[in-house]
Each structure stands twice: as structure tokens, then as C-alpha cells.
Copies of this chain bind each other. A is one copy, B any other.
Amino acid sequence: MKQLFSLLLLCSLSWVSAQKVESPTGTLALTFQLTPDGQPTYAVSYKNKPVVLSSALGVSLKDKTALVNHFEVTGTTTHAVNETWKPVLGEQAQIVNHYNELIVALVQKDSKVKLNLVFRAFDEGVAFRYDFPKQENLNYFIISDEKTEFNLTENHKVFWIPGDFDSNEYVYNETKFSEIDNEKLDLNNGIGVKSIPGKYTVQTPLQMKSPSGLYLNIFEAAVVNYPVMHLDANVQKYTLKANLVPNAIGDKAYLQAPCVSPWRTIMVSDDARKIVSSKLILNLNEPSKIEDTSWIKPMKYVGIWWEMHVGKSTWDYAGSQNAQNAAGNPIPTGKHGATTENTKRYIDFAAKHGFDGVLVEGWNVGWEDWVGNWKEDVFDFTTPYPDFNLEEVSAYAKAKNVKMIMHHETSGSVGNYERHLDRALDLMKKFDYPAAKTGYVGKIIPRGEFHDGQAMVNHFNFVARRFADNKLMVNSHESSHPTGYSRTYPNYIAAESARGNEFNAWSNGNPPAHETILPFTRQLGGPMDYTPGIFEIKMSYYDKNKTEQVHTTLAKQLALYVTMYSPLQMAADLIENYEKYPDAFQFIKDVAMDWDESLYLEAEPGDYLTVARKTKGQDTWFLGAITDENARTTEIKLDFLTKGKKYKAIIYQDAKNAHWEKNPIAYTIKTQVVTSASKLKLQLAAGGGTAISFEPLP
């Protein structure tokens, strides 16, 4: 009798029959199932092999019943979607959004709270989100924990950085999953503010490769009114669990139904190129909310910026807050970079070489004491230093048909920035600045908040919207990782949000593999303002005692303009350095920033990347190939070129004896005529690259 009872119980508690959604070609499949306790789970298979094992879903709420178990399925819906949309700026003129959707409607037995799980299966990945419908039993609520798990099958190779709540500017570690360990990192890495919550917390996008050669990537899309998701790894079990960034008092997200969580994405492919070229993240974001987008344009720019990084000049005017004369006026050190005169020099250069814009950092009062002290009222975003004449500079730029790019460094004092934002934007409009670079170096104020918390995510998105209201573009640095919001607000033209080229000037820098990993990680979420184009690779050029250097060859710096997509591209080096290498500089002048088509010809995260792109509306192509610390030879078929047409290919490549460390500047340029039938043999130095422009011949 007892046995019978157990058997009955077992039956009544059995797992609810699975719901499955397959990708359009059936390559990927996601299975939803409730556990006997009514906890939602999902699993993912690729080509019929499991890649994510049964993994829990659910959220805990503050002061409310956790939405983790005791659920029943009240219904399911499926949709098949295959549509095409046109990004305002992008890697492709058109983007296909093709997926099958499964919506599972759940209700929790006692609380009667309704929760929908929305699953989408694309051919290169799956995505899911929590959807909290409008209902009687849930209105306002606070997420205290997200239970989402990603239970992996094996001890993959992982490209990981610490799940730091305040910074994403790390060098990627390439280890086995079992070797993830933040405590083993050298944290003397140039990052000022670090908030690493645990030994095994890592950041997304998390690019992995299975022992059998399968590529997996875990990320998120459409992070709007929600904190960034980091992941806690269990290095024994190969599992990951969501770790949402808290606010000052430990809460994660303040929500009101109806609302949705961001998408959690798992890309899977046996071809790395499918992942690096995927538009899945953009597809999961809302279409542009800006109707007239005619004012959103790519910008290639130079700026008063790298000269501060190399120590030629300073952001500040007076050195320190103590440097005042008897009348209380700051005493100039004479090293200030953002002078009217220097700016005019940059404007002249931009005009001469056809650049769209000039960025000037250090133009405004406050840099004497701007960071490191959690100071609230640093900048007012409107007061120029005495040696920077805003009117004169703007008039000069206008006369030369060059656009000025404003700089808004907040030093993390976000409340202060928000209090001044309208006046700062008014100033930009008054002086015809079409875009600004924002910065968030330092601990956040309101104090207790992190760069990656819900409040800051909301701030970055708010700034994008306020800029849009004023028909202005914005490029944020030290912001939380983008997750495709630039589709919705395409004036959010770029972001840094990863370890940029600047670290090469004053820290251990970015190893040669760095730029082969970023396209698989940071750049999946949107354009990055990496600031390539450094020609004087070694900092000893400026100061013999310096050992820092850019960890690439010069030719690779050129190739980055193609491999790292962004509609905002800086030629970051000093303009006097470009004048020394005019032939190499020609590539930067020529390269496009907006594209009809992008072909990822070769890709292996951590090793190499080769990309060819066709200029938007023109039959010119550009190719970039980069490698890590290993020299590389490859042969590229030019079958992407229009058949029957001849093209002049200008090939910017590493000299034979080039080497990122030993001989980084050595390059050669050769020109040849090619067709779609041609093949090109590329020879990349250690840490090197090749950049090619293809122009159709008449």
C-alpha cells in the first residue's frame, strides 16, 4: 500500500510534458519544462546534442512570494517571425530577424501571480525573457534575485573578465571554465574603480568554446530599466547563475507590471563567424523611436585626447586646485591641451584631411581635482577654461566645415550631470556641436550605486533620449555594456564600455589577442569607440623611460577600422604623427564607417579575425585582418567583389620583419588590380594585421 502511494505521488509530481521551440532550420532547439515542484526550466540543444542542460528560471521578490516554483502552465502560444529591417547606421543595409517564438503562460498556485516566459529560437542562438503581465496580483515589485541558470555540459574554454559592478575595462582571460578565479588576477591593471563581488563572478558577453569545437556565447539584450546581469560560475559543475547588480541598499530592480526583463541570450554555433556576425542582440531590441533620423550620421574624428594620454599635455589648466595666485585665479601650468590655438590646429588638420569632427577634452573648468575623491560638484559642463574660447573655436570650425565634438566628463557624479544636462545641451546647440563624448570615470554619485546598476542603466538610456530630443548624438565612455539600445536610439552612436586602446598608453595595456575577442564580446551589444589608429606605437617615443606600448603593429591599427565596427571612428594619434606617415594615414582617410554588407571571412576568438565590408551605397570594399601574438598567413578569396569588375586593391600590411613588440611600425603598402576571382595571400606579423581598400576601376 505504501509503495502504491509512492508510485501515485511520483506520477502526480512528474515533470510536466515539455514544450519545445526550434530555430527556423531546426539547428537549435529550446525545451521548456516545469519540475515536479512547478519550477520553470529550460534546456538547449544544438544539432540534437545538449549544450545547455536543464536550467532553472525564476526571480525572487522583496517582501513577496518568490516566483520560482509552484507554477502551472495555463497556456502556450507560438509565433514564426521572418522580417527584415533597416538600421539607420550599421554593418548591413538590411537585417533579417528570423525566429520561432514560444510563449509559456504560467500562474503560481497560491499567489495567483501570472508570469510569462518568452522564448525565441534563432538559427544562431536562443533568447528568453521574463514577461510580467498586467494583473491583479502583481503591480509594483522589487527583484531581489534572478534565478536564471545556464548549466553547461563540459569544461569549456572561456574568455572571461571579472563580473565587476563598476568596470568592464579588463583584459580577457582565456582559461578553462574550471579555472575561472578572480582572485588569481593581477588587479594592477590601470582600472581605477573596481567592485568585484566574488571569486567566481564573470561578465557577459561570455564567449566559450567547447572541447569539441562548439562556440557558445551568453549575453543579454535590451537591458532597459533593469541592472546588468553578471554571472556566478560554479567551476566544479560548469554552471552559471545570474548575478544582478544591486543598488545602494541591495535591491536589484524596481519594476511595475506590465513589464519585461532583458533578454537572456545563448548563441551556439560550430562556426565562430556565425556568432561574431550575428545581429541577434539588435533584433531583440525595439526599433528606432526616433522618427527623423536624417541628422544621425557617421563621424570620423580627430581630437585633443591622445596627447594627454602620452603626457604631452594635460586636461587641467592649473595643475592642482591649490595653484592659485593672490587674486584667487588659477595659475596656468602652460601644459593645458585644450587651448583655442591647439584646437584650431586640429580643426585645420580635420578640414585638410576630410575628417568630420574634432573632439576636445579638457575644455571645461574642473580638471584640477576631478577624480578619485568621490567629489560631487566637479564639472558644470558649460564653463570653458580661460584659454579655450568657445565662440572663436566654434566659428572657426564652422568656417572650415568641421564639426566639434563636445566632451562631458562626469567623473561618476551622475546626479550633478543630470542637474546640468539641459544647460549643457543648450550650450551644444548654441555652438553647433552635433555630438558629445560622455565619461564616467570614478565611483558613482548617488553614492552606493554602481556603474552597472538599474539606476545607471536608466541614466545612460536617459542621456541617449535627452540627446535625441535635442537631435544630438552621444558616445559614452565607462558606461555599462551596451545591449542593443542603439537600435532604439541610433543617436547613441557608440560607447566604450570595454578596455579601449587608451590602456596601452599608461598600463600593461591590451595584449595582441584583445581585439580578436572584443567582436565576440563587447561589440555584440553595439558600436565601440575603441579609438584605433595609433602610429607611434611605443611610449618611449615620448619619454625614453616609458616601457608602455600599443600591443599591435601599425598595420593592425589600420585593420581595426574594419574589424571593429563603429559609425564613430577616431584617428586617435597626434596629428603630427599622421603627418609623418601620410601613405598609411591614407587608409584611415579612405575607410568607410557605414556599410551595405559585412562578411566575416575568418574568425577565431583570441586568435584572428578577417572581415570584408562594402561601403553603404558604393561599390568600394574594405578588408581588415588581424591576428593575436602569433604571426599568421592566410589566403582570402575575393569572391565578394562584383563579378566581372576590376578593383584597385591598396594593401596596407606588416613589413616582413614587423612584430608588435620588436618592430611594430614597419609596414608596406602595395597596390594591385584584383577581381572576384582573385585570391590574396595575407601575411600578418605577430600582433599584426592587414588593411585593404578595394576601389572599382572604371
Contacts and interface: CB of A to CB of B under 8 A. Distances in A.
Contacts of A249: 248, 447-448
A415 B375 contact: no
A244 to B, nearest CB: 15
A254 B373 CA distance: 10
A421 interface: yes
A64 interface: no
A314 interface: no
A376 B254 contact: yes
Nearest to A372: B140
B140 A248 contact: no
A446 interface: yes
Contacts of A248: 247-249, 446-448
A227 to B, nearest CB: 13
A660 to B, nearest CB: 41
A352 interface: no
A418 B423 CA distance: 12
A432 interface: no
A375 B256 contact: yes
Interface string A250-265: 0100101000000000
A391 interface: no
Contacts of A418: 415, 418-419
A374 interface: yes
Nearest to A423: B422
Given A421-B419, A422-B422, A447 B251 contact: yes
A455 interface: yes
A449 interface: yes
A446 B450 CA distance: 13
A462 interface: yes
B448 A375 contact: no
A324 to B, nearest CB: 11
Contact of A448 (B373, B376, B448): B448
Contacts of A458: 376
B419 A373 contact: no
Given A418-B415, A418-B418, A422-B423, A447 B140 contact: no
Interface in A421-454: 421-423, 446-449
A418 B375 CA distance: 18
Nearest to A414: B415
A254 B447 contact: yes
A373 B447 contact: no
Contact of A140 (B254, B373, B446): B373
B256 A373 contact: yes
A419 B455 CA distance: 13
Contacts of A256: 373, 375
B449 A374 contact: no
B375 A140 contact: yes
Contacts of A421: 419
Contact of A247 (B247, B419, B423, B448): B448
A423 B248 CA distance: 29
11 contacts: A140-B373, A247-B248, A248-B446, A248-B448, A249-B448, A254-B376, A256-B373, A376-B458, A415-B446, A418-B418, A446-B455
Given A249-B447, A415-B418, 5 more contacts: A140-B374, A247-B248, A248-B447, A415-B415, A446-B455
- Which 4 pairs, one residue from A and one from B, show the smallest C-beta to C-beta distance? A248-B248, A422-B422, A446-B446, A249-B448
